[in-house]
Structure 1
Amino acid sequence: MTSPLASELLARIDNRQAVIGIIGLGYVGLPLAIAIGRANFRVLGFDIDTRRVEALNRGDGLIRHIPNEPIVEAIGKRLFEATADFARLGEPDAILICVPTPLTRQREPDMSFVLKSTASVAATLRRGQLVILESSTWPGTTEELMKPLLEQGGLASGKDFFLAFSPEREDPGNPVYGTQNIPKVVGGDGPDALGLAARLYDAFVSQTVPVSSPTAAEAVKLTENIFRSVNIALVNELKVIYDAMGIDVWEIIDAAKTKPFGYMPFYPGPGLGGHCIPIDPFYLTWKAREFDVTTRFIELAGQINTAMPRHVVDRLAEALDRRFRRGLNGARILVLGIAYKKNVDDTRESASFKLIEILEERGAATDFHDPYVAEIPRTREHAALAGRRSVALTSENLAGYDAVLVATDHDGIDYARVVKEAKLTLDTRNACAKARADMAKVVKA
């Protein structure tokens, strides 16, 4: 039986009187805010970045692949406001937490953003509020880490407030699937929390998928991304093997994917990037140690994927030696693409950062060109690269480098021209073959 407190919030959700708070207005939180606003809820967005807050309140989301028009429309209808004042967390009826969950240098979960956000919510928590974590994390975070912090003030989960987990499934730049048409997995701390979270998401997504608990929902997210990590590791290993045998792995994948059953194509690359796949598997590896379980398969996949940038640089060094009788030391290299995937400005965990660092460790001078990223942002792991700016892709510039390394296959770049005007092109994405470039001047890696 639904409690009176939960029934009251359900009614507010159904009649669109509930105010929805979102902590973190980046690549996950902003699309979520737009989708919720389109469903005629009032959204109060929280972010520690005052520059982002000011820009959002002007209608500028600062993320290239997310249009500004729905933000402007929501502001005009008084359905969206951004703030850096976390003392206002008592205002929303439901609070969705969408903050980063990176790894430390020791590949252990860094829960500082989740902990700080939870502490901010706890400071203003009131009866009847629904709190949902969306950040990817290890199974047990919601109930073992967040719940005790939220209950320190005397309110009880399932009785006085409601707690749930629903993993984000954003794919930046995907033209087909976005927040509203991607099914939402939901796990609640008790039946009322599950019912409330499902009812809220039902208001603006195509389908909700209830599971037994927040821990189960957390495991779903990790399973999705471990599946991708392991399969990408497999094709990365096949790439290395087939390359040694003189076989083009891209040709093999294209032929294999014609089989209508029992095969799903994954593609190799210069290393993993993005906010989930390079990180999520290690969350389970870390948690599994608590149960004396070794995650051998997952860790092997991680080793293969993290080794790919060095493999790519080795291939480039070999190509320079064979073609020009010179090594990387003193060579000028242009890295084409700094975003972690094509057609977005998202650089989180980009393999290009590691490529540049390895190239420069070996004495090369590097620049980059990216039509979506004008300047490398500051990151904790690659702070020395911050502030470097994209160079123009002119004929003069292309001719001036010893090699061009295609790290991100953005659409809109004339790869045939790049190959024609560059001395040598190393392609990690098969972009040049797709552009019907002169493959005699291309080395695949």
Structure 2
Amino acid sequence: MGLGPSIKMTTMHHFYCPLTEALSKEKDIEFTGIIVDGVSEVCDDKIYTSKRVGDIAQMLHADAAIVAIDAWGNHHVDFTNVIEQLGIRGIPSVGLSYIAQQGRLVCTNRYVDCVIDFNKSAVGYESCIVGENNLTDYDAMKAVALMKNKLRKVGKPVDTVLDEPEQNLRRLTRKVFHIHEVCFSEKTEIDHGVLTIRKGIEKNLIQSEARIKDIKVSIIEPGKYDMFVNSNLDYSPIACKVRGELGEGVTHLLSGVTVMITGVEDKSGFQPSNIGSSEGLLKNQVVLDRAGTPKSTDYILHVDVLFEEGEGRTAEGIMAGHRAADWIIQEIRKVLFNLDNMPYKREEFSDIARPGKRKVILVKIVSGLGNMYDTAIFPYEPGGFLGAHNMRDSKNIPYVITPNQCRDGVIHSLL
């Protein structure tokens, strides 16, 4: 899972981001947008990108910010610098990070005065259990409350502003089709809540990816977790764009099933990781029912990648694994795109402008170092990887995305 398996924000975590949902529910503020800032390797680059975050926040006329990061150690240099650059521009912020016993800040400044520690472990140390120390809905609720309190302290209370008509900037419609069974068959199809996966769906991909020796696709039924799995590379939803661009229009989404990518190297058995891999019995290596992990009632479509020796330690190898998994999901998306024989749950999301209200932004500090610690932005499909641009290749220059783009899967974690 890379640096910090228990705190990493998977693709699924960004898709169901607790902070995005919490801020979107607040009608007494305007949730103006999200800045996605990549963690850099060199200190000068960390300062440079932090300043750009400050510039963007100022241009967005932000009154306050929430800053969240899913790593610690020298990554806190990015975290504290972003908070400082916001503070210099008169934008108070609330930070969220893993701290506990192990992740105490390696540097600070006078603007770092409110950080929520989302450690969930009783011992206060990082673990290799995916999702154990995830940022949760409760953490997001606390962050919003503290952010409003900081606005009040700087003379900008949210309840003393003009109440002007809202403006609906863009609308996203999700049609959620529930899957109650997943099995293998002769072809990939969805019929009355049953998802069937074509046997051998992965075979052609092995020939097209030179860095991959083998791929195995299996189905894990709910509750049957007493099995060994290799180090987790990601959890992601199965969704496809039916109309419009990411963040607007119509998206089809499957519930009841989650994709899990794992990997290991051939010969040496090296488990892809920077610090701490998450291989072991699945029942012991994941906390279910978190924003970034499967529900306990989900089927898990397990894509296990056997890398050629050494390729689990290269950025190209890890990307090959994610690419192969996305091609497998793409076959399901083609069926999901035309799905019309099932009832669905309709969900409506809107990006709302609230003239006169305090403007609040969310800053997501994400991986951008390459290999097992990178992030890809704006794939072709919700939560996908194909077509996406890596933060590392973009020199970690911040992106600005809308709340709806976040919940429509424009962020893919290369973990």
Q: Normalised by the size of structure 2, how large is the TM-score?
A: 0.28
More strand by share: 2
Which structure carries more relative contact order (alpha carbon 8 Å, separation 6+)? Answer: 2
Is the radius of gyration larger for structure 1 or structure 2?
Answer: 1
Q: Which has the higher helix share?
A: 1
